[in-house]
Amino acid sequence: MYQVETTGYFDLVGSDLSFAGDAPDLYLAASTWLVSRMPSAKKHPVVYLSGSSQGSKPATPLTSAKDLIPTMDPPTGPSRGTVLSEKIGNDYFSAEVAVERESMLLLKATYHPNWRATVDGVETDTVMLMPSFVGIELSPGNHSVRIEYRPRRLRVILLVLGLLTLPLIAVGERQGTVICSWFATNVVARISSAKRKRSTRQKQGPWNYPRA
């Protein structure tokens, strides 16, 4: 097995730009960002897609990113701090971070509104960082961060219904022969008997019925 050096799941980055726009415009903006100097300088603009709440800072239209980003030549700057440790669970990531100056803690996972974060036990908003990572704003100091994926209630309900449906289908398949046999013996037989009686009466005619 080959082993590749990596910076881990977390990193401390800067974010001096904010873009807002529609999801179809993100691909071109992110592609432009990837070939610019911004990734090497650890500069990740915040992206607000339609329907998401924007921060207090004014956001530039996402459609202008392809023209604006190539003009940026940001310096790397001094160290932002250190990710002391990180832990990965089934549906969460956590980290201990020492921050030297105001930064964004970047989680290298695809952003989704269902990601929820706590910083030192306090719930904190998450944002999308270009190209499409999860970001949390951190102030200088030592912090304990936990990012957890919480699915929506509707998804949980549908998952439970799906799990209940599977055993019902299995039971139905096993009992299918018994149910069909019962149906043929009782319902179909009664229908056939009623048809025969009706046919016999029609052949006899009304004059053959017993008089009152």
For the chain, the structural domain boundaries read: 10-150, 157-205
So what's the pLDDT on residue 11?
96
Which residue bears the tokens 């003009």? 71
So what's the pLDDT on residue 156?
46
pLDDT digits (tens), the chain, 212 positions: 555 566 799 999 999 999 999 999 999 999 999 999 999 999 999 999 986 667 667 899 999 999 999 999 888 889 999 999 999 998 899 999 999 999 999 999 999 999 999 999 999 999 999 999 999 999 999 999 999 998 865 444 545 555 566 665 655 566 656 666 665 666 656 666 666 666 666 655 554 545 44
So what's the pLDDT on residue 55?
66
Q: How many C-beta atoms lie closer than 10 Å to residue 68's C-beta?
A: 15
So what's the pLDDT on residue 7?
72
Show the CA angle centred on residue 68, arms to residues 66 and 70, nearest 5°.
75
So what's the pLDDT on residue 58?
82
| Claim: this prediction has a pTM higher than 0.75 | no
